[in-house]
Structure 1
Amino acid sequence: MESNQEKKLSDLLNGIPVITISGSQDVTISSIIIDSRRVLPGSMFVALRGTQTDGHQFIETTVNAGASAVLCEALPEKLNDKVTYIQTEDSAAAMGMIAAAFYGHPSQKLSLVGVTGTNGKTSVATFLFQLFRALGYRCGLLSTVQNQIEDEIIPSTHTTPDAVALNKLLSEMLEKNCSHVFMEVSSHSVAQHRITGLHFAGGIFTNITHDHLDFHKTFDNYIKAKKGFFDQLPKSAFALVNVDDRRGSVMVQNTRAKVETYSLQTLASFKGKIISDTLAGMHMEINQQEVWFRVIGRFNAYNLLAVYGAALLLGESSGAVLTELSNLKSPPGRFEQFHSADNIVGIVDYAHTPDALENVLETITHLRHGNEKVITVVGCGGNRDAEKRPKMAAIACKYSNLVILTSDNPRYEDPLDILEQMRKGVPAQDYKKTIVIPDRREAIFKAGLEANPEDIILIAGKGHENYQEINGVKHHFDDKEVLLEVFKKHLSN
């Protein structure tokens, strides 16, 4: 990320744990860069050890390109006397603190709230963004779907951007007079120090189930990464946790923040109860006040409780919060409903973990009022946690009358290999109601062909995504667009 601002290196290194510094600290830094190809004269190059490449091998290239300083964990054998080398134990952690200083610590001047957990992060962060805008605040959003400054949409590539991009975005939000920013905090971002150096007003824990084991290797490591976010919260912050998840209390064991809780099942600071749940909306009681919401499903009841609790902890009044919450709609690709002219219900959802898929299908089961068929179209992403593939198929079979296994984002894997692993989770008694169609478009059309009026089609796994990633290339593909094509075809038949 380039910037038109400049900072003296000595100011950026204030309070940073370093092993050695070779060269002058009086140099001026014009940008902090992690991609060696983007180094310009005056840049500080940060050598990060990544999963694919090690930035240390590009140090000489960046020095030749005019880098004024290099932040690294291991010094190169040959040092250039015109360059300042800063050796630190952890380049990523140091970069987080340096990036915050470079942009003037924007998070300290904002009410920044982070949301972490396996499922619900996007919904909670987006609901908070919508709610606080409705309450009259200027807000920023950092989410899987998109980054947003008020109405300006900035496409996102990761759940959490790198530390430099993140601080740059926060400084832009501050420049545009935002007072509140709501962001998803992924387990990767904690483990990779992307949020190091940020000051949070609060943190929210939604739930935790098996995911991202391709990166974290063990479930224990995954839990530790999520918990690491709460360990970093300052004493002035709040830590709001879902105590119906048995690991909710684990998350806040070592936090300095003020712990608050939310629940549908037990006593909590923010207690909810579902009175009724239909395709039209959900009637709930929250802290003894009855409210009707446009969003539906038990999983959304938890999301609403988290949002309600966070808003009150940020100083808002219960009445104003519940009034505005009752008008909110689900974020794109999160239990997003479509209806055909002949009354087939289509639901597009991002559910790509076993737990998320079960939540969505359980909700659909509760919403059925007759003999409607449930037709589920589902796949699993390539180069990701393979353990969940048979589980996803088994869950789809448990709740559906017809299951169509198809491609998601195969990435660099053979789609047929992924589908074979999914098929292993299909119980013998469910073979007859399971079809394998590798082409996702064809699979969605097949679902439409099999559906009758009143039936419910669930297309799971990609939600808001408008692409399909195959062999490193992103091809345009939007589940919603294809579903609407299917519904048009129904109209013409």
Structure 2
Amino acid sequence: MQLASIVKELEYESVQGDLAKEITGVACDSREVLPGNLFVAISGFTSDGHKYVGEAVKRGAAAVIVEREAVSSDATVTMIQVKNARLALAKVSAHFYQYPSEKLNMIGITGTNGKTSTAYFLQSILEATGKSTGIIGTIGTLINGELLETKNTTPESLQLQQFFSEMEKRGVSDCVMEVSSHAIDLKRTAYTTFHTGVFTNLSPDHLELHKSMDEYFHVKAKLFDQTYGFNVINMDDPYGQKLVEKVRGKEPAVVTYGLNPTADIYASDIDYSFEGTTYMVNTPTGNFKAKVNLPGEIYVYNSLAAAAAAYCSNISFEVIQQGLKNVAGIKGRLETVYSSGDYKVVVDFCHTEDALEKALKTIRPYVKGKLILVFGVYADESESGREKRSGMARVAATYADLSVVTSDNPKHHDPKLIIREISQEMKANGGNYHAFLHRKEAIEYAVRVSNEDDVILIAGKGHETTQIVGDQEIPFNEKEIVMEALRAKEKRVKL
């Protein structure tokens, strides 16, 4: 594809070199540059692509997009300077792959909690219609049953456009995508067209990036400026109500959902059990009974969001009903990894105050013995990080009989400081707790002190099978650790 065609609609500051050259591909990682590629130098959280312009040129880049002047030893390389390289990357990537999102039925899901389970409920409904469906989110990217690992909940714009293009080639008709606030703020979803946007809820998270809940909300709300069909919004959430006021009257139709009968689509006659939930889905054109194989109110909301989005796509009640029922469970979402009578070990991805509270309140009614919680908090040393640690500690002290405080993904943060601050808040709120620096030891302790009627909730990592310490990603499979701890406990009992 001609470089002149790729950059035609870019607002660039200057151009040095020839635009009449053929481009073989786009790259934003210098290590992935191939001869004839267009390299876009973007600034990340830990590295700056401008430092690697020379390496990209050595690898054969034919052109480079930068935000500030960068020197190339090769005069034949075209240098294009723009104000925002991330926005430029999204634009040139979409153009190079010929705007593949426009050829898919794109459904974007955003909110603090519930994005993954809503996405998997919706994928199951779409597949129940016989459609080939792709999914992009926290657990990875799924194309025709093939799971591809991705680093972020919502990948970089270049990788997104590559995934959309691959889906189109493989005959995928519908793509369900989790849309994180980071992705919106960092322009990863720019030039992606969505038929439907879904809003789940909003609670404090990522405030190290967004600084305030108001800013966090306004970033999330940007997704609903990229839709052309429907905006499906949780009307029971205060920020959902605020979003309805913001987007109502615009071209995409607003469809609300919730437990309150004032919503367009609402749940009633809810019957909860630890094995799952049944409820009545009420719509403007009729109602039907839904069965969800996951416990608690949060999964009523998430499955109802999926049902509402499917309703907007004119999918029949029978198919929606079957699609919801087909979801046997979702990896790392209130997933029971061991069960024997009333004794259970459950893992969940909950890593915010709101999500942790919902998980504990969901499990609490079914616990005959003690509810034991293993948790840590990944949060930086900022004021918002301290607030998050305090909030999660207060929830733990309130709802768990015993909390085992430990690390999550400490990355470059000081785990001893984080654990100390959580412990101080636990003590201040009268919580019963023990603290362990190493997460494996914390899980082993929880198993060791548990009894036959107890339920252990291991919170924070869910589906993840690694732990990030510093720059290292260390293998860490909580299910395997649980099973090893149970075997060790059984041996001690026999002795």
Q: Into which bin does the TM-score normalised by the smaller protein fall?
A: over 0.9
SS in 1 for 2:79: strand
- Which amino acid is 1:186 matched to? S
Shift in Å at residue 97 of structure 1?
A: 1.5
- Which amino acid is 1:93 matched to? L
Shift in Å at residue 238 of structure 1?
A: 1.1
What CA distance in whole angstroms lies between the structure 1 residues aligned with 2:269 and 2:294? Answer: 12
* Contact kept? 1:391, 1:422, Cα under 8 Å: no
TM-score between the two structures when normalised by the length of structure 2? 0.92
Which of structure 1's runs of 4+ aligned residues deviate more than 6 A? none
Shift in Å at residue 23 of structure 1?
A: 2.7
SS in 2 for 1:430: coil
What CA distance in whole angstroms lies between the structure 2 residues aligned with 1:299 and 1:363? Answer: 8
Shift in Å at residue 142 of structure 1?
A: 0.6
1:422 corresponds to 2:416: no
* Contact kept? 1:131, 1:324, Cα under 8 Å: yes
SS in 2 for 1:123: helix
1:221 corresponds to 2:219: no
Map of 1:392 onto structure 2: 392
Shift in Å at residue 429 of structure 1?
A: 5.9
SS in 2 for 1:67: coil
Shift in Å at residue 230 of structure 1?
A: 1.3
1:194-233 map, 5 Å: 194-233=188-227
Map of 1:261 onto structure 2: 256
1:108-130 per-position Cα deviation (integer Å, ceiling 9, x unaligned): 11111111110001111122222
Shift in Å at residue 35 of structure 1?
A: 1.7
Deviates more, 1:407-416 or 1:14-23: 14-23
1:99-118 map, 5 Å: 99-118=93-112
What CA distance in whole angstroms lies between the structure 2 residues aligned with 1:326 and 1:69? Answer: 51
> Which of 116, 129, 137 is 1:143 aligned to?
137
What CA distance in whole angstroms lies between the structure 2 residues aligned with 1:12 and 1:420? Answer: 53
Deviates more, 1:50-59 or 1:358-367: 50-59
1:42-99 per-position Cα deviation (integer Å, ceiling 9, x unaligned): 1111121323333234334433443211112223477964222222221111211110
What CA distance in whole angstroms lies between the structure 2 residues aligned with 1:157 and 1:59? Answer: 23
Map of 1:4 onto structure 2: none
What CA distance in whole angstroms lies between the structure 2 residues aligned with 1:51 and 1:458? Answer: 32
What CA distance in whole angstroms lies between the structure 2 residues aligned with 1:57 and 1:379? Answer: 35
Map of 2:230 onto structure 1: 238
* Contact kept? 1:12, 1:102, Cα under 8 Å: yes
What CA distance in whole angstroms lies between the structure 1 residues aligned with 2:52 and 2:411? Answer: 27
1:121-149 per-position Cα deviation (integer Å, ceiling 9, x unaligned): 11111222222223211111111111111
Deviates more, 1:288-297 or 1:342-351: 288-297
What CA distance in whole angstroms lies between the structure 2 residues aligned with 1:490 and 1:445? Answer: 9
1:275 corresponds to 2:270: yes
What CA distance in whole angstroms lies between the structure 1 residues aligned with 2:429 and 2:412? Answer: 32
Shift in Å at residue 286 of structure 1?
A: 0.9
What CA distance in whole angstroms lies between the structure 1 residues aligned with 2:49 and 2:210? Answer: 21
What CA distance in whole angstroms lies between the structure 2 residues aligned with 1:77 and 1:314? Answer: 51
* Contact kept? 2:410, 2:469, Cα under 8 Å: yes
SS in 2 for 1:113: strand
* Contact kept? 1:34, 1:45, Cα under 8 Å: yes
Shift in Å at residue 9 of structure 1?
A: 1.2
What CA distance in whole angstroms lies between the structure 2 residues aligned with 1:470 and 1:89? Answer: 35
- Identical aligned residues as a percent: 34
1:327-349 per-position Cα deviation (integer Å, ceiling 9, x unaligned): 31231000001344354111110
What CA distance in whole angstroms lies between the structure 1 residues aligned with 2:177 and 2:305? Answer: 14
What CA distance in whole angstroms lies between the structure 1 residues aligned with 2:323 and 2:75? Answer: 60
What CA distance in whole angstroms lies between the structure 1 residues aligned with 2:197 and 2:430? Answer: 42
Deviates more, 1:296-305 or 1:325-334: 325-334
Map of 2:466 onto structure 1: 467
SS in 2 for 1:474: strand
Closer, same or farther: CA 64–327 of 1 in aligned 2, 3 Å: closer
Map of 2:56 onto structure 1: 62
Closer, same or farther: CA 250–94 of 1 in aligned 2, 3 Å: farther
Shift in Å at residue 424 of structure 1?
A: 2.4
What CA distance in whole angstroms lies between the structure 1 residues aligned with 2:242 and 2:65? Answer: 35
What CA distance in whole angstroms lies between the structure 2 residues aligned with 1:275 and 1:58? Answer: 56
* Contact kept? 1:382, 1:411, Cα under 8 Å: no
What CA distance in whole angstroms lies between the structure 2 residues aligned with 1:43 and 1:467? Answer: 33
Closer, same or farther: CA 83–446 of 1 in aligned 2, 3 Å: same
* Contact kept? 2:379, 2:389, Cα under 8 Å: no
1:150-206 per-position Cα deviation (integer Å, ceiling 9, x unaligned): 211111211111111111111111111101111110101001110111111111110
SS in 1 for 2:358: helix
1:287-342 per-position Cα deviation (integer Å, ceiling 9, x unaligned): 14333321211000000110001111122111221122123123100000134435
What CA distance in whole angstroms lies between the structure 1 residues aligned with 2:223 and 2:61? Answer: 33
Map of 1:3 onto structure 2: none
> Which of 369, 373, 388 is 1:372 aligned to?
369
1:237-290 per-position Cα deviation (integer Å, ceiling 9, x unaligned): 211110111111333514542211111124112111252211122121111433
1:19-98 map, 5 Å: 19-76=13-70, 81-98=75-92
1:166 corresponds to 2:165: no
What CA distance in whole angstroms lies between the structure 2 residues aligned with 1:73 and 1:38? Answer: 20
Name structure 1 gaps, 5 residues minimum.
1-6
TM-score between the two structures when normalised by the length of structure 1? 0.93
Deviates more, 1:157-166 or 1:22-31: 22-31
Map of 1:355 onto structure 2: 354
Structural RMSD (CA): 2.0
Closer, same or farther: CA 292–53 of 1 in aligned 2, 3 Å: closer
SS in 2 for 1:24: coil
* Contact kept? 2:278, 2:292, Cα under 8 Å: yes
* Contact kept? 1:47, 1:56, Cα under 8 Å: yes
Map of 1:9 onto structure 2: 3
What CA distance in whole angstroms lies between the structure 1 residues aligned with 2:153 and 2:489? Answer: 37
What CA distance in whole angstroms lies between the structure 2 residues aligned with 1:185 and 1:488? Answer: 40
SS in 1 for 2:194: coil
What CA distance in whole angstroms lies between the structure 2 residues aligned with 1:76 and 1:414? Answer: 36
Name structure 2 gaps, 5 residues minimum.
none
